[in-house]
Structure 1
Amino acid sequence: MDFLKKAKQHMKELEGDLNKATAQLGFGEKSHHDEAQAPIAAAPPSSDSTPATSNINTPATSVAPSTAGGDAPKTKLPLAIRKAVRDDFENKLPELEANLSSVLGQPWKISFDCGHLYTFAVNRFAKESPGKMFTEGIQDYIQQSGEDGKSELNTLASSHIMTLEQTQNPKISYSGCGISGGMFRLLFTGEYLGSNLSSICNELATAINEAGKSSSPDGGAALDFNAKSDIKKNYEPAIGEVKAKLQSVLGLPMLELHPNFERNFAAVTAYDVSGKKSTIFPREWQKRFGRSTLEYFKYLVDQLERQGFAKDEMLQEGYQEVVDKNEIGLRVVDKLQKGHYNECVFENGVLYMQTTPEYWTSNMRDAGAKIVDML
């Protein structure tokens, strides 16, 4: 993470210089507890799906409106503000873009229409520099998501342009972010430009997921970013040890496990969006998808040990005669044959642990119960 430390150090050095510009532009941190103030001038809200194409390096006499705001009128900034934009923002822009590009590993551009944004500003002293707003949230995201997260953001925001826009998204209270039209968009609602800057990228993983769904031919049935990240973080490093225990308990020289990630994820996703969810259905299950899959196999080990397989060669031989393919799978089905939450079945020489979308992760400890009675 040397590139992150270097980028953060650059941002700290810039904060003092940038505070002057942001104070005059009204880009400072505004707590949601503060009393609301009316914007200096009204302007049409931007569309989250329309790119902001104007460049902030506009002539000194006026600042062209961003096309993200539709037919927003041209805004002529006071001389002192124009000078602050030039001296403390535009002159710093190459370094800000260099830091952002360093963090993300590819060339990126920052496209802010300061003239249009000024119409949403409120006059108060800045508490955070825009440089921090641009990069710190992304750095935190990359620290959590690693190279895969960086790759996803670079792929989905294919233009490699960061914008700052007003949004009508009801899911965003003060500030947030999104990806649309190939751009990574920092977003604010109403007059809350500059509010809650420290959390502006808190839901970047969610934005990655939503952008990934919209770009998926099957409408999001494939694994989303949260699921893929959890599989890599919690399933892949641990499944080898679990597999070795299963082989030992069952006396198997070899064993193949089938987690059926894509099939199970698609089935649970379909139920999740159906509007028929039960009260016990897990929230944010995608973020634990890899860990939950691992736990099904871990609890199978526990069940087999409790049923005496580890020390009984007769039980091991009986199992091997029925499950002659030495394969164990986990699958989500529409309806169980006998169980309520989950069950085990033998099918074509394979042992399957089964559950339904409604009861995904429910009573996982019992997934391997009564295998002895089935032999």
Structure 2
Amino acid sequence: MLTTTGLSLATRKNIRDEFQNKIPELQKTLNKLTGSDYEFHVDFATLHDESARANSAQAQWYKSSMGQIAYQYFESLVGNIKRVAENDDLVRSDFIKVTSKREIHLVNDSEISGDNDLEIVDGVIYIKVRPGHLGYNASVGYYILNYVKADDEVLPLRTKINIRDGWELKVPGVKKTLKKVLGEDYDFVVNFDEIYTQAIKERPDYLDWFSSSLGDIVYGYFDSLKGYIERYAEKDELVRNELLKLTTTRKIHLVYDSDLETNELLEVKDDAFWIKTRPKDFGSSTSIGYYLVDRVKDPDSALPLRTKVDVRDEWELKVPALKKRLKSSLGEDYGFEVDLDEIYSQIIKANKSQHDWYTRSLGSITCSYFDSLVSNIEKTASDDLARNEFLEATSSRTFHLVLDTEVASYNDVEIENGDLYIKVEPKNFGYNVYVGSEISKKIKAPGSAFPLETKLNVRNEWELKIPALKKKLKEAVGEDYEFVVNFEELLNVGIAKNDSDASWLKRSLGEIVYQYYGALIENVVKVAKDDDLVREGFLEVTGEKKIHLVYDSDCENNCDLQVVNDAIYIKVKPGSLGRDSYYVGHNIVDIL
């Protein structure tokens, strides 16, 4: 409908020639696009008068060109409608739906801030011009998609377009990748209406971004998760099987969760993947899934998936090499027993601050304990005596890693009933993985009187040195002498009488005994080698040719020397073994 009442002939002529005669072509274009006839409404009389009053300097221009000016607005609008709707069924159908009155009006509106604006109200399109600015900028409708929104729908048309182009058209590629990696089809669950409504409510300043990019944003979350699933699961059967086991619904949800402590979070629960984000953070970062392996945990297992992966890679795959090293050193096959479910449960309770470390490193920590132990066994087992003792002591051929709250230090090694146990205090698990440096102290073969460290010391510091000592004595006195020592009695009584000496006596028994004999022989050689009288006297009173080392509770000193029944006795006060041994024999001439 056109109103020209009261306008000059020149103005009416321009309206006829430059507007009325050209409008049918624009209407034809719209009809071709929509299948409907649209009416163009202009109250030229009011439009002219208001524009001339608001901008008197352009009164003559308005008078001579009113039709031409008005036509430019409609031409621009129809051109932009054609641009966005001609090849897009979604745009075309929504445009038809929201312009149900099939009317386009050109009006003045003093409330708008720019030269012009566009509005669709109650099925009618309004081209609005600021009074006095008519004709200054007739380009209108370039952003028409921003104005198309059905009253009974939540999403504007441009949002629906982005969901289609930025989400729906791309989703098949994501699903195809997931099918390739996991071997199953997954459905994506997104309530776009709810996502959009909450997003613009929480961050109204971002309305334009959410409206134009909602599909792209949502796609970003799913594409990121797809990438990390591909990264972690494509070549890892353990990860793949765990994901499939815990997502039996084969669904991935995107939802809001205002209680999150971080911007976004991935959870695997209720048999599905859940991408969660806070409404106020929606779209800020769509990177999701980096911690995928950390978030997956089978409710029926104590270990999260991240821990299982570390156990496999850093423990199970390294066990064969550890066993091979043991076989090479000991000549026997050994097994390892570790209840990692139980260990994990206890250590995260005992040391909550290290939860993440234990979750990521349980396997590598476990391997470190055994690797350290094996290294120290290799050093010890290079000795035939030590190797044989170890084999006899560990008859079950099994090593265990267990937690023990009674362990005084970071860790300890015990051999019990043929099994070797690495014992670790729960709160110190992983802090010091150096194990077995004193393994010889722990090895004691069944039925043996001594631990291995004592046997090694007796051999190295006594048995291997005695031949030279006996030779030295023979060179001095001309006869062979027997050294009589009950090492078992010496050790047991020594410990019983002075428990504080236990560690020293065990590691130094051979050396201690040798010091007594060494001091005695040194003094005998000193007085007898070049003195026939002394030498003959020594041989005469020691006809048994024996030198004993014994305990005697009647000793007045820490140690004494006596000749009894033609034999020499080095007597030691119980509890004083090893003390003043260098004095033995200084009075040898006096006792002969």
Q: Does residue 105 in structure 1 map to residue 173 in structure 2?
A: no
Q: Distance in 2 between matches of 1:284 and 1:160?
A: 31
Check 1:62–1:224 CA distance in 2 against 1; reply closer, same or farther (3 A cut): farther
- Tell me the alpha carbon deviations over residues 329-370 of structure 1, each in whole angstroms, 9 at most, x when there is no partner: 11112322xx411101111111111101111012211x2132
| RMSD of equivalent CA atoms | 2.8
1:295 to 340, 346, 368: 368
> How far did residue 94 of structure 1 move?
4.0
Does 2:381 correspond to 1:309? yes
Query: Partners in 2 of 1:139 and 1:80 — Cα distance?
Result: 28
Distance 1:80 1:143, change over 3 A: closer
**Would the aligned equivalents of 2:410 and 2:425 in 1 still touch at CA under 8 Å?**
yes
Closer, same or farther in 2 for the Cα pair 1:154/1:259, shift >3 Å? Answer: same
Structure ranking higher in helix proportion: 2
The secondary structure found in structure 2 opposite 1:107 is coil
Aligned to 1:136: 224
Q: Secondary structure at the match of 1:289?
A: helix
Amino acid across the alignment from 2:178: L
Query: What is aligned with 1:257?
Result: 336
Residue identity in the other structure for 2:192: C
Q: Does 1:359 find its partner at 2:428?
A: yes
Map 1:191-340; keep pairs closer than 5 Å. 191-198=280-287, 200-209=288-297, 212=298, 215-216=299-300, 222-249=302-329, 251-273=330-352, 283-306=356-379, 308-310=380-382, 312-336=383-407, 339-340=408-409
CA contact (8 A) 2:189 2:251 kept: yes
Percent of paired sites with the same residue: 19
Whole-angstrom CA distance in 1 between matches of 2:217 and 2:166 = 10
Q: CA deviation at 1:254?
A: 1.9
Corresponding residue of 1:368: 436
Alpha-carbon shift at residue 115 of structure 1 (Å) = 1.3
Contact 1:230 1:291 in 2 (8 A): yes
Shift of 1:208: 0.9
Q: Paired residue for 2:272, among 154, 173, 183? A: 183
The question of whether the paired residues in 1 share the 8 Å contact of 2:253 and 2:273 is answered with yes
Normalising by structure 2, report the TM-score: 0.44
Q: Work out whether residues 62 and 77 of structure 1, in 8 Å CA contact, stay in contact via their aligned partners in 2.
A: no
How far apart, CA to CA, are the structure 2 residues paired with 1:354 and 1:62?
Answer: 71
Q: Is the 8 A contact 1:162 1:184 kept in 2?
A: yes
Asked whether the equivalents of residues 343 and 402 of structure 2 are also in contact (C-alpha less than 8 Å), the reply is yes
Give the match for residue 419 of structure 2.
350
The one-letter amino acid of 1:262's match is D
**SS of residue in 1 equivalent to 2:296:** helix
Contact 2:413 2:436 in 1 (8 A): yes
- In structure 1, stretches of 5+ residues that fail to align are 1-59, 64-74
Q: 1:224 Cα shift?
A: 2.3
Matched residue, 2:154: 76
2:176 and 2:150 map into 1 onto residues whose CA distance is 28
Q: Write the letter of the residue equivalent to 2:414.
A: V
The reply on whether 1:163 has 2:241 as its aligned counterpart is no
Alpha-carbon offset, residue 255 of structure 1: 1.4
**CA distance 1:241–1:87, shift in 2 (3 Å):** closer
> Structure 1 residues 329, 135: closer, same or farther in 2, change over 3 A?
same
Q: What is the deviation of 1:293?
A: 0.9
C-alpha separation between the residues in 2 aligned to 1:197 and 1:88?
14
Cα-to-partner distance string for 1:219-262 (whole Å, 9 max, x where unaligned): x6x2221221111111122221111212333x232211213323
- Most deviating of 284-293 and 100-109: 100-109
3-state SS of 1:205 partner? helix
Find the residue that maps to 1:284 and give its secondary structure: helix
Distance in 2, matches of 1:190 and 1:132, equals 16
Per-residue deviation, 1:96: 3.8
Q: For the structure 1 residues 96 and 240, does the alpha-carbon distance in structure 2 shift closer, same or farther, using more than 3 Å as the test?
A: closer
Instruction: Name the amino acid aligned to 1:204.
Output: L
Report SS of the residue matched to 1:319: helix
Alignment partner of 1:258: what SS? Answer: strand
Once the two structures are TM-superposed, the CA of residue 129 in structure 1 deviates from its matched residue by 5.8
Query: What are the residue-to-residue correspondences of 1:91-102 with 2, within 5 Å?
Result: 91-102=169-180
Match for 1:321: what amino acid?
A: E
Flag the structure with more relative contact order, 1 or 2, with Cα contacts below 8 A and sequence separation at least 6.
1
Q: How many residues align?
A: 284
TM-score normalized by the length of structure 1: 0.68
Structure 2: give runs of 5+ residues left out of the alignment. Answer: 1-148, 201-205, 445-592
Give the 3 Å change call, closer, same or farther, for CA 78–224 of structure 1 in structure 2: closer
Cα distance in 1 between the residues matched to 2:421 and 2:316: 20
**Separation of aligned partners in 1, 2:398 and 2:264:** 49
Task: Report if aligned partners of 2:365, 2:430 keep a CA contact under 8 Å in 1.
Answer: yes
Partners of 1:96 and 1:371 lie apart in 2 by 56
